[in-house]
Amino acid sequence: MRIALGPPQYFWPRERTLAFYRDALTWPLDVVYLGETVCSKRRELRLADWLQIGDEFARVGVEVVLSSLALLEAESELAQLRRLVGNGRFIIEANDISAVQLARELGVPFVGGPSLNIYNVGSVRMLVDDGMRRLVLGVELGRDWLGELREAAAAEGIALPPIEAIAWGRLPLAWSARCFTARALNLGKDDCGFRCIDYPEGLKLATREGQDFLMINGIQVQSFEVCDLAPVISELLDAGIDTLRLYPQQHDMPRVIGRFRQALEGAALTPLPGHGIGYWHARGPMASAGAETPAIRGP
């Protein structure tokens, strides 16, 4: 099983991002995803910067993938996407059908990202025809779905591409045209002042009784709870997961990668407090914990 550093989800200052990836060059990674997936206004790094970082990873033998935006609205974003797909050096992660179409037109192989809606074998087969080399499990899909997919593929005699699972990080649950960070700060999106740069791990949203619930990250909404599949790594191996996706966080990333390396070497790991296994066991992460009393901090 391979370990991938997922695309960055948050907006960090240029220097912090460059330093993060300088460090990451020394981490035991097999794959690295680079580029902006959330908001086209986040431009501390440009495509040329990501390509340069990518070259450094390629030099040390790490597979490089350039990730695309999950939500495209403006013509300027499509123009950026064209440059990304046609970069000439690296394959891409398609996080929207627009990227699939451009990759198909240009003959560029791609990874199918978690925000594509791929729910069955027929849809996988079509994307493989279009050039998909690996599929990241959709955010709400887990072990049981993958079992069903393998069974159906076998019955139809269809070979599945390698499968990647989100194994660490906050789950990207929703996207909107609206910027929720700007809204929380009483700013318009067009005058946001790039303030999400002040929230390097997002802006916490709690219920009115103090239960930590979601994380606001610009136009994206994430789970507050961090997904950690290290305690169920043997199940991931049984399910034939090819690649583990660990989403970047500003602190402790080497320790997170170390945790997964340990798990892959057979160490039995216990769940970390405040972490969960996301959708791996089928039901919604909160629904499966639904009967438990929420952590209440008082009104």
Partner 1 sequence: MRLVCPAGSPPAFKAAIDAGADAVYVGFRDETNARAFPGLNFSENDLHAAVAYAHARNRELYIALNTYPTPTRIGQWRKAVDRAAALGADAIIAADPALLDYAASAHPRLARHLSVQGSATTHVALRWYRERFDIARAVLPRVLSVEQVERVCAANVVPIEVFAFGSLCIMVEGRCQLSSFVTGASPNRHGVCSPARSVRWQEHADGSRSVRLDGVLIDRFNPGEPAGYPTVCKGRFEVGESIFHALEEPTSLNTLDLLPRLARAGVCALKIEGRQRGAAYVGAVARVWRQALDAFAATPEGYTAQAQWHATLASQSEGRQTTLGAYHRGWQ
Whose CA is closest to 121, among 164, 150, 147?
150
Q: How far is the CB of 151 from partner 1 (least distance, A)?
A: 7
Instruction: Between 28 and 290, name the residue whose CB sits nearer to partner 1.
Output: 290
Q: How far is the CB of 186 from partner 1 (least distance, A)?
A: 9
53 binds partner 1 (CB under 8 A): no
Instruction: Between 62 and 102, name the residue whose CB sits nearer to partner 1.
Output: 102
Phi, psi for residue 230 in degrees, rounded to 5: -60, -40
- How far is Cα 64 from Cα 131, in angstroms, rounded to an integer? 17
CA–chain centroid gap for 125, Å, is 22
Cβ atoms of 127 and 265 closer than 8 Å: no
Q: How far is the CB of 184 from partner 1 (least distance, A)?
A: 5
**Residue ranges in 76-95 that form contacts with partner 1 under rule CB under 8 A:** 78, 81
User: 299 CB contacts (<8 Å, ≥6 apart)?
Assistant: 208, 209, 210
187 binds partner 1 (CB under 8 A): no
Whose CA is closest to 37, among 104, 90, 137, 116?
116
Cβ atoms of 50 and 81 closer than 8 Å: no
Question: Which residue among 19, 48, 174, 272 contacts partner 1 (CB under 8 A)?
Answer: 174
72 binds partner 1 (CB under 8 A): yes
User: 124 CB contacts (<8 Å, ≥6 apart)?
Assistant: 118, 132, 135, 149, 153, 158, 160, 161
252 binds partner 1 (CB under 8 A): no
74 binds partner 1 (CB under 8 A): yes
177 binds partner 1 (CB under 8 A): yes
Cβ atoms of 154 and 234 closer than 8 Å: no
Cβ atoms of 51 and 59 closer than 8 Å: no
126 binds partner 1 (CB under 8 A): yes
Q: How far is the CB of 5 from partner 1 (least distance, A)?
A: 23
One-letter amino acid for residue 229 of the chain = L
Question: Which residue among 189, 195, 261, 275 contacts partner 1 (CB under 8 A)?
Answer: 189
Q: How far is the CB of 56 from partner 1 (least distance, A)?
A: 31
**Residue ranges in 195-234 that form contacts with partner 1 under rule CB under 8 A:** 203-211, 213-214, 216, 221, 223
Pick the piece of the chain touching partner 1 (CB under 8 A) from 10-18, 39-47, 236-244, 283-291.
Answer: 283-291
Q: How far is the CB of 292 from partner 1 (least distance, A)?
A: 8
